[in-house]
């Protein structure tokens, strides 16, 4: 079992060192602090040779759950069908699965070392069982990368891998197309914006409308998974009950029903897709069109006009009405010309 020591930085730097115990770990802490590599008012976990920054919600239960994750082994071994079923049920996190000969394999050692670099934020799994590997379509020493909410994994190219190979691949693909805001990493995710903006979707998974909207959101994400400039943050209000009043006031939205909008991370300006009929969720095509408009700049937090997913249909109807009016006017003109001809006769 791993041992972990947690240090909480105080605003008064002169008080920090009074919190430390006399050990090799505290000496490491002191050197890093004096070198300016650690930030005041932050929480760090020292686990074996790793220093892990906690960048989540400052709540006792969330922090405790995070510490339990830290002391777990970086790689979880899948040995039977029951454990494999549990692996498949994890869809909200980035996860990797590798197939190796044994725990003594040099290839597994490289994989395990890479896992320590991302532990506990990214989940690493491995199997030594040929039957399990066959069900996963894994070859010996091969590693699959699973993006959240995607149906199929991506095999990391270039096996057999070194630790650096695996680390580099993850760093290039660690911004999923659709990712869930988690209490233990909420600030880290929010700081990872694209051009100062986030596309944010609120949906309660336990609510029928929220579940339906989330399924539509997953479909859109799966269709756009190759787009590196698209990343949608899904927030389940049930995970942040104390934040709901703040979000509703700041964004001027009602979180009792699903919402999707684009938010400026600096001043919290936002514009939201208008959904008048709560029983009529936007289709995947309508949502995809809205997202394309956001990414093209047609919709941005500086706009004060809400975007309705029925707008395109209304515009088409208006065009048809205009055409009808034109036809009517043409008929009138023809009649008028005939009357003029009669008078001339």
Q: Where are the domains of the chain?
A: 4-54, 75-172, 178-308
pLDDT at 322: 52
pLDDT at 282: 92
pLDDT at 290: 96
pLDDT at 235: 97
Per CATH, domain 178-308 is 3.40.50.720:
no
Could you tell me the mean pLDDT of each successive run of 10 residues in the chain, 345 residues long?
A: 50 38 50 55 74 85 90 96 97 97 97 95 98 98 97 94 97 94 91 91 96 96 92 96 95 95 92 77 94 92 58 50 51 49 47
Per CATH, domain 75-172 is 3.40.50.1820:
no
Q: How far apart are CA 192 and CA 197, in angstroms?
A: 9
Do the two domains 75-172 and 178-308 of this chain adopt the same fold?
yes
pLDDT at 279: 64
pLDDT at 10: 40
Model confidence, pTM: 0.79
Q: How far apart are CA 11 and CA 9, in angstroms?
A: 7
Q: What does pLDDT average to over the chain?
A: 82
């Amino acid at each position: 079992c791993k041992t972990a020591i947690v240090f909480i930085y105080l605003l008064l730097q002169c008080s920090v060192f009074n919190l430390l115990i006399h050990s090799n770990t505290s000496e490491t802490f002191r050197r890093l602090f004096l070198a300016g590599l650690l930030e005041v008012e932050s929480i760090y976990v020292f686990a074996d040779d790793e220093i892990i920054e906690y960048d989540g919600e400052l709540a006792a239960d969330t922090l405790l759950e995070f510490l339990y994750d830290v002391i777990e082994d970086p790689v979880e071994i899948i040995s039977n069908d029951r454990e494999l079923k549990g692996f498949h049920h994890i869809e909200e996190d980035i996860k990797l699965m590798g197939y190796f000969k044994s725990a003594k394999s040099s290839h597994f050692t490289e994989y395990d070392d890479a896992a320590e670099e991302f532990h506990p934020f990214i989940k690493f799994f491995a199997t030594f069982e040929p039957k399990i590997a066959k069900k996963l379509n894994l070859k010996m020493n091969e590693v699959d990368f699973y993006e959240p909410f995607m149906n199929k994994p991506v095999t990391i190219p270039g096996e057999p891998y070194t630790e650096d190979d695996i680390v580099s691949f993850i760093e290039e693909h660690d911004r999923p197309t659709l990712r869930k805001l988690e209490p233990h990493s909420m600030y880290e995710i929010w700081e990872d914006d694209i051009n100062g903006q986030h596309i944010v979707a609120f949906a309660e998974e336990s609510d029928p409308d929220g579940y339906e909207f989330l399924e539509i959101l997953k479909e859109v994400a799966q269709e756009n998974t190759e787009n590196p400039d698209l990343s949608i943050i899904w927030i389940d209000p049930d995970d942040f009950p104390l934040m709901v009043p703040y979000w509703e006031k700041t964004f001027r939205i009602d979180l009792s029903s699903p919402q999707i909008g684009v938010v400026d991370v600096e001043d919290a300006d936002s514009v939201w897709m208008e959904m008048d009929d709560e029983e009529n969720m936007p289709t995947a095509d309508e949502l995809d069109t809205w997202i394309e408009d956001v990414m093209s700049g047609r919709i941005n937090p500086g706009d004060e006009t809400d975007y309705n997913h029925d707008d395109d249909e209304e515009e088409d109807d208006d065009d048809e009405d205009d055409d009808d009016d034109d036809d009517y006017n043409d008929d009138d003109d023809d009649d008028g010309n005939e009357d003029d001809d009669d008078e001339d006769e």
